[in-house]
Structure 1
Amino acid sequence: MLEKTIEKDFIDDGKIWDLLEDSKNPEPAEVKEIFAKSRAKARLEPEETAKLLQIEDPDLLEEMFALAREIKEDVYGNRIVFFAPLYIGNKCTNNCLYCGFRRDNRAIERKTLTMDELQEEVNVLVNKGHKRLILVYGEHPDYDADFIAETIRVVYDTKAGNGEIRRVNINAAPMDVEGFKKLHEVGIGTFQIFQETYHHETYAKLHPKGTLKSNYQWRLYALDRAMEAGIDDVGIGALFGLYDWKFEVMGLLYHTIHLENTFGGVGPHTISFPRLEPALNTPFIGKAKYRVSDDDFKKLVAIIRLSVPYTGMILTAREKPELRKEVIPLGVSQIDAGSRIGIGGYKKSEMDHIPEREQFQLGDVRSLDEVMREVCKLGCIPSFCTACYRAGRTGDHFMSFAKPGFVHNYCMPNAVLTFKEYLIDYASEETRMAGEKAIEEQLKVFEQQNPKKRQMVEDKLHLIEEGHRDVYV
């Protein structure tokens, strides 16, 4: 798979542990200097993030949490982008010890959606109000670039009433450059690959030899190949709970720095931080010794936000509603809602059936409408915006807006406009009332910023009320 063996990659396990050890008991003055750098929206260096990871002082932690929210709102505004995962197939050649989809798990029913079944799943999602999907595939030869490209075309071609999917992101096996080019040609959004764990020894233990996933470096450099192929929005992530959470945060930062150094300052469009969750017939999870507590989870979310101020941060429905409510304000910019992760799960959910034989257990199975209403009550604007992608604000163009914190000038108006579509076409009466109130509050903010800005947004809102759709800045 790899054309050549790389003697040393950009993750140095020993160096990471040395930095963490040397950073214990940081001085408050040092920490506050790091806070000041983050406030200026500068990406942190590993030595600085290591110090944040060692903060134990309650006052400094509270200051860090407040700063994480401030940075997120400075960069992206107070909007939360919504998406849904759609699992296409669960065939897998890998035998990852922690995964319910692993090859040797006989308790899982193997299935791949036909194109007609895929269209049915998309119809359910569109009729709920979704505009953004991430398609998820097992790592298997059947799910090659041609197959994935076909599924992307089907999703984009599926329309229902006023609804459609406007951005398709992908979570799939690493490919070669030619494979990634095929996906770029059909209009992929972000390609997302999680290293799972950045710790070399742990990676080797959890991913048995002879499988597609056993090659650490093939996976580590996969997004380099994606960007070489023209996919300039990529997402990284780690599965927290496989190894020490502080090490994994450092791994994500080093991956960010590698991408920036290799591709002219363009780092990850998103960073994800899912936690290990129970899965059917997967005994490893019950014995996992690196499970991340809720308190440490909150810390790592805030630290990632301070370390990479420009990146989108994804909080998944693995987490329970109560915790999601606490974590969203700590720097999160994207969440999923109304999610089902069984193959064909959305159609089944219409019959009030939530599949048990999934890759892992979800913590939040509430409807999209219910979660959006809660987000309004948190003082945020739900968003389905896809304007940056379709207006060409991707890659280095996106970074030129995101890094200095200007992208919110697009994010907030477009959040309001896409939310208005949802309120008219799909919302319950209760959510519509909460949503209209949230939009009115945001219009007041626009008025304070610039009366012309409010007028521009109101003019576009009137177009939506008249029946126009896909109106954006």
Structure 2
Amino acid sequence: MIVHADPSYNFIDPEQISRIIDAARQPAPSQVREIIARGLEKKGLSLSDVAVLLQSDDTELDAEIFAAARRIKQEIYGNRIVLFAPLYVSNECANQCSYCGFNAKNSELVRKTLTSEEIAGEVRALEDCGQKRLLLVYGEHPKITAQWIADSVATVYETLSYKSGAIRRVNINCAPLDVASFKFLHQAGIGTYQCFQETYHQPTYEKMHLAGNKTDYLWRLQAMDRAQQAGIDDVGIGVLFGLYDHRFELLAMLRHAEELESRWGAGPHTISFPRMEPALGSELSQAPPYLISDHTFKKIVAITRLAVPYTGIIMSTRESATMRTELLQLGVSQMSAGSSTSPGGYSDGSLDEVTSQQFSLGDHRQLDDIVLDLVRQGFTPSWCTACYRTGRTGEHFMTLAKEGFIQNFCHPNALLTLKEYLNDYGGTATVEAGKHHIEGELEACQLKVKPQLEAKLAKIEAGERDLYV
């Protein structure tokens, strides 16, 4: 593994990316189809391949790209969709980001950092509706230290609901840290570390970030390498689409994925695709500099599924319910559900979310509504955390994924977590639809673990919890 300690090291070459884009303009249909066929081999695509697919403007070829993405998604992930909820711990922030409601200069925002008691209240509210996987989100502020984050993670793990126990997986989205601080968080038991570059185009980055630690482009760009050095081998990257040319952003983000794989043996565990949404106090967010159509956005997700077939793709509640449903078919494997982007948004019924949230939500459905919609569409909602608790992370997970592990183990475990959800939290319609879905999945199942799966489903029905194969 090559570790670059040089703080000036920058693996994003804007001139190279621009040349790749220019060379791929107006591709021939035969070239596009050759790349689609190569993508179906599930070995990934080069940046040049991605640039060609992005710049094909033939609607018939776009349909073929979408069909290929659906096929790869089904072959690798099946119908399993991982669900989680973001828990905003603080909206206090010292950065001035032009697109964000947490901007330090935003005087309209009501600032709030949750106490440990308030965090526990949020966790109980989330647990009591069925959540098992959380993403803790923090603003960048002097009071939000590694110790403070570790304490908040401990509070989450220690808080038990009256139904089926505790949160089983805590991922975090916080500002970039040094290696020693990342090691401290690793020892505290965090899951995936998530941090978005926002924009990989450095001039745009510098224009959008006016003050605070976030003005340092390279410090943020190298955050994942410091996390890996610290032992955190599941990392999640992302870009905020709308700040700059989507072609440059996607190629740069995939270049980041290449760099991580070359240095650490595995690329990012997840890639997220937020699109700019209106945020209180941000005029920029009302009219993104580079507006992306729904069709282009779907194409970005589909091409990413071909480019990095084994990487988890996350879609947040920024998007509408309709758009999220369409994206599930094109490569998305994880989605937030029943979300709030305000500290206290799950347990404080008197909270005015408009004056405390980071951005406006597009999907306002509650968790049970989303579960019901998913099973009616033939998807299997999953809250499984077995891999993380058995050490199957980072390079180990990616190796297993390429051997069919997701279908053989993750899918059965998804059915176990769905059964648990139905027994403890599901509404009447969800329980009926969910039980019918599980019966259908069992009938179609030809895996060697089927007898073990059936036995564990029976144990859950009898009252046991947190079982996995």
TM-score under structure 1 normalisation? 0.96
Is the partner of 2:335 in helix, strand or coil? strand
> Partners of 2:463 and 2:352 in 1: how far apart?
34
Q: Is the 8 A contact 1:79 1:412 kept in 2?
A: yes
Q: CA deviation at 1:75?
A: 1.5
Residues 1:423 and 2:410 aligned together: no
Partner of 1:179: 181
> Partners of 1:47 and 1:288 in 2: how far apart?
27
Partner of 2:411: 412
Residue deviations 1:1-56 (CA, integer Å, cap 9, x gap): x97541x5111112111111111122222222222222221121111111111121
> Partners of 1:128 and 1:49 in 2: how far apart?
40
Matches within 5 A, 1:60-139: 60-139=61-140
Partner of 2:363: 364
> Partners of 2:439 and 2:355 in 1: how far apart?
41
Matches within 5 A, 1:447-458: 449-450=446-447, 452-458=448-454
In structure 2, give the amino acid aligned to 1:432.
Answer: V
Is the partner of 1:301 in helix, strand or coil? helix
Is the partner of 1:338 in helix, strand or coil? coil
Q: CA deviation at 1:338?
A: 0.7
Q: Is the 8 A contact 2:194 2:236 kept in 1?
A: yes
> Partners of 2:232 and 2:116 in 1: how far apart?
24
Residue deviations 1:160-209 (CA, integer Å, cap 9, x gap): 1213100000000000000000111111110000000000110010012x
Q: Is the 8 A contact 2:170 2:190 kept in 1?
A: yes
> Partners of 1:113 and 1:90 in 2: how far apart?
9
In structure 2, give the amino acid aligned to 1:204.
Answer: E
Partner of 1:229: 230
* Gaps in structure 1 of 5+ consecutive residues: none
Residue deviations 1:138-160 (CA, integer Å, cap 9, x gap): 01121111000001111001111
Is the partner of 2:97 in helix, strand or coil? coil
Q: Is the 8 A contact 1:309 1:403 kept in 2?
A: no
Residue deviations 1:53-92 (CA, integer Å, cap 9, x gap): 1121112111111111211121122110000000001111
Matches within 5 A, 1:276-425: 276-349=276-349, 354-425=353-424
Q: CA deviation at 1:284?
A: 1.5
Partner of 1:48: 49
Q: Is the 8 A contact 2:94 2:212 kept in 1?
A: yes
Q: Is the 8 A contact 1:348 1:354 kept in 2?
A: no
In structure 1, give the amino acid aligned to 2:439.
Answer: E
In structure 1, give the amino acid aligned to 2:328.
Answer: I
> Partners of 1:202 and 1:51 in 2: how far apart?
24
> Partners of 1:403 and 1:20 in 2: how far apart?
30
Is the partner of 1:194 in helix, strand or coil? coil
Q: CA deviation at 1:407?
A: 2.2
Task: State the superposition RMSD in angstroms.
Answer: 1.5
Q: Is the 8 A contact 2:271 2:314 kept in 1?
A: yes
Q: Is the 8 A contact 1:341 1:358 kept in 2?
A: yes
Partner of 1:461: 457
Partner of 1:23: 24
Is the partner of 1:33 in helix, strand or coil? helix
Is the partner of 2:381 in helix, strand or coil? strand
> Partners of 1:269 and 1:336 in 2: how far apart?
16
In structure 2, give the amino acid aligned to 1:317.
Answer: T
Q: CA deviation at 1:288?
A: 2.5
Q: CA deviation at 1:353?
A: 6.4
Residue deviations 1:102-148 (CA, integer Å, cap 9, x gap): 11000111110000000000000000000000000001121111000
Is the partner of 1:148 in helix, strand or coil? helix
Q: Is the 8 A contact 2:153 2:170 kept in 1?
A: yes
> Partners of 2:404 and 2:303 in 1: how far apart?
18
Q: CA deviation at 1:286?
A: 2.8
Q: CA deviation at 1:352?
A: 9.0
> Partners of 1:403 and 1:202 in 2: how far apart?
37
Is the partner of 2:89 in helix, strand or coil? strand
Q: Is the 8 A contact 2:80 2:411 kept in 1?
A: yes
Q: Is the 8 A contact 2:280 2:354 kept in 1?
A: no
Partner of 2:254: 253
Q: Is the 8 A contact 2:416 2:467 kept in 1?
A: yes
Matches within 5 A, 1:125-164: 125-161=126-162, 162-164=164-166
1:438 to 1:352, Cα distance in 2 relative to 1, 3 A: farther
Q: Is the 8 A contact 2:70 2:330 kept in 1?
A: yes
Q: Is the 8 A contact 1:385 1:414 kept in 2?
A: yes
Q: Is the 8 A contact 1:42 1:403 kept in 2?
A: no
In structure 2, give the amino acid aligned to 1:390.
Answer: R
> Partners of 1:341 and 1:429 in 2: how far apart?
28
In structure 2, give the amino acid aligned to 1:282.
Answer: S
Q: CA deviation at 1:272?
A: 0.1
Q: Is the 8 A contact 1:77 1:411 kept in 2?
A: no
